[in-house]
């Protein structure tokens, strides 16, 4: 049995009971012991201080793009990725048990969820109000006991906060997936050994001279490495300098990738290797 398949792993996530991260943990781990954290920073602190076995953090969404707050923390806390999971997001309109869709005048949720359900809300002339997260908004509906108010959250949140599902799958785009990564401290001894396709993630900063990024990207091209993602993020302490996050297919144990990494180390100022791990599947 691999480390990730053990029962009762203590796993940190950001959010409350009923969050989409909560759903993702339940779908992918065996009887997890979940620590719910109010912020991403606290999730990473619990990993760093070894208060949990691992953490599951969202990295990107198929509609709204990257979750930059988490990728920025990758470098600060020196983590490694050991698995990735694609979780389908299905937004539900949740109200009190006595509520009906025609009663709802205001809906609360995270701004991203509200944006993804804009067509539905306009159709029913429902006012949208930003909240700090989806599960938190469901909790508020339970506490307020106002049948004219509803939240947009998960089916799981309806169970936790004893709410009624007034409408399912209300997002404008049916193919809505969030990519989650399971992370550990770099010092942790576990490394994936599963068979099959792998993905590798890293970040690097380049010298501040013309063509330095192109020189680095050409190394991937020469070694026929398929990049699946590239993202630039500013370095706050160094004005107008950037770190480039890259995902690509393959493992660091593959010869062409090992050779490419050796060449890249010679060209960049800093290289942050987050790990090679089994590529997740969209199901």
Tens-digit pLDDT profile for residues 169-222: 999 998 999 999 999 998 888 989 999 999 999 999 999 888 899 999 999 999
Catalytic-role residue among 3, 71, 120, 178 = 178
> In the chain, where does DSSP find H-type helix?
20-28, 40-48, 68-77, 111-116, 118-123, 134-144, 155-160, 212-222, 255-267
Partners of 81 in beta bridges: 183
Tens-digit pLDDT profile for residues 75-130: 999 999 999 999 999 999 999 999 999 999 999 999 989 999 999 999 999 999 99
Over residues 229-249, mean pLDDT: 88
The continuous run of DSSP H or E covering 149 comes out as strand 149-153
In sequence order, the 6+-apart residues with CB closer than 8 A to the CB of 23 are 87, 154, 156
Catalytic-role residue among 74, 180, 204, 220 = 180
The answer to whether the beta carbons of residues 142 and 162 sit under 8 Å apart is yes
178 has catalytic annotation = yes
Q: Chain-wide mean pLDDT for the chain?
A: 94
Alpha-carbon distance 50 to 52, whole Å?
A: 5
Give residue 65's pLDDT band: very low, low, confident or very high (50, 70, 90): confident
Q: Hey, what domains does the chain have and what are their CATH numbers?
A: 3-89+176-185 (3.40.190.10), 92-167 (3.40.190.10), 198-278 (3.30.70.260)
In this prediction the pTM is: 0.93
């Amino acid at each position: 049995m691999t480390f990730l398949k053990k029962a009762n792993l203590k796993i940190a996530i950001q959010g409350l009971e009923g969050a989409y991260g909560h759903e993702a943990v339940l779908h992918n781990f065996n009887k997890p012991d979940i620590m719910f954290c109010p912020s991403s920073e606290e999730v990473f602190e619990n990993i760093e201080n070894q208060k949990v076995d691992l953490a599951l953090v969202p990295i990107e969404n198929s509609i709204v793009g990257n979750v930059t707050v988490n990728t920025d923390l990758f470098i600060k806390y020196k983590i490694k990725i050991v698995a990735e999971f694609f979780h389908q997001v299905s937004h539900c309109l949740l109200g009190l048990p006595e509520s009906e869709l025609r009663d709802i005048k205001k809906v609360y949720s995270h701004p991203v969820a509200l944006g993804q359900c804009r067509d539905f809300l306009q159709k029913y002339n429902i006012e949208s109000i930003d909240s700090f997260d989806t599960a938190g908004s469901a909790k508020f509906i339970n506490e307020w006991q106002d049948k004219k108010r509803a939240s947009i959250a998960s089916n799981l949140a309806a169970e936790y906060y004893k709410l009624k599902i007034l409408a399912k799958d209300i997002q404008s785009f049916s193919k809505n997936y969030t990519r989650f990564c399971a992370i550990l401290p770099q010092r942790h001894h576990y490394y994936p050994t599963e068979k099959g396709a792998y993905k590798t993630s890293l970040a690097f900063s380049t010298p501040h001279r013309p063509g330095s990024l192109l020189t680095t990207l050409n190394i991937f091209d020469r070694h026929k490495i398929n990049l699946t993602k590239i993202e630039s993020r500013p370095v706050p302490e160094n004005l107008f300098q950037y770190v480039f996050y890259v995902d690509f297919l393959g493992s660091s144990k593959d010869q062409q990738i090992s050779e490419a990494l050796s060449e890249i180390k010679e060209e960049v100022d800093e290289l942050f290797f987050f790990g090679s791990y089994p590529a997740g599947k969209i199901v």
